[in-house]
Amino acid sequence: MKIGFIGAGKVGFSLGKYFCEHGLNVIGYFSRSPQSALQAAEFTGTLCFNDIEGIVEASDTLFLTVPDGAIKELWDYIDKLSIKNKIICHCSGSLSSSIFSNIDNHHAYGYSIHPLLGISDKLNSYEQLSHAFFTIEGSQGRLNEMQAMLINLGNSVQIISPENKAVYHSAAVFASNLMVALAQASIDLLKGCGFNEKNASLALNTLMLENMKNIVRQGTTQALTGPIERCDIETVKRHLACLNGEDRKIYILLSSKLIEIAKRKKPDCSYSELENMIGDMIKNE
232 three-class SS: coil
d(CA 92, CA 275): 38
pLDDT at 16: 96
Which contiguous run of DSSP H or E holds residue 64? strand 61-64
Instruction: Measure the CA–CA gap between 145 and 131, rounded to whole angstroms.
Output: 21
pLDDT tens track, the chain, 285 positions: 999 999 999 999 999 999 999 999 999 999 999 999 999 999 999 999 999 999 999 999 999 999 999 999 999 999 999 999 999 999 999 999 999 999 999 999 999 999 999 888 889 898 999 999 999 999 999 999 999 999 999 999 999 999 999 999 999 999 999 999 999 999 999 999 999 999 999 999 999 999 999 999 999 999 999 999 999 999 999 999 999 999 999 999 999 999 999 999 999 999 999 999 999 999 887
pTM recorded for the entire structure: 0.84
Query: What are the Cα distances from residue 194, in Å, to 170, 200, 241, 248?
Result: 35, 9, 19, 20
Q: Pick from 91, 90, 4, 1: which is nearest to 40 by CA?
A: 4
The whole-number pLDDT of residue 119 equals 86
Q: What local confidence, expressed as pLDDT, does residue 201 receive?
A: 95
Domain ranges for the chain: 3-170, 224-284
Class of domain 3-170: alpha beta
* CA pair distance 280, 261, nearest whole angstrom: 19
pLDDT of the residue at 122: 87
CA–CA distances in Å: residue 123 to residues 40, 44, 207, 284: 9, 10, 30, 49
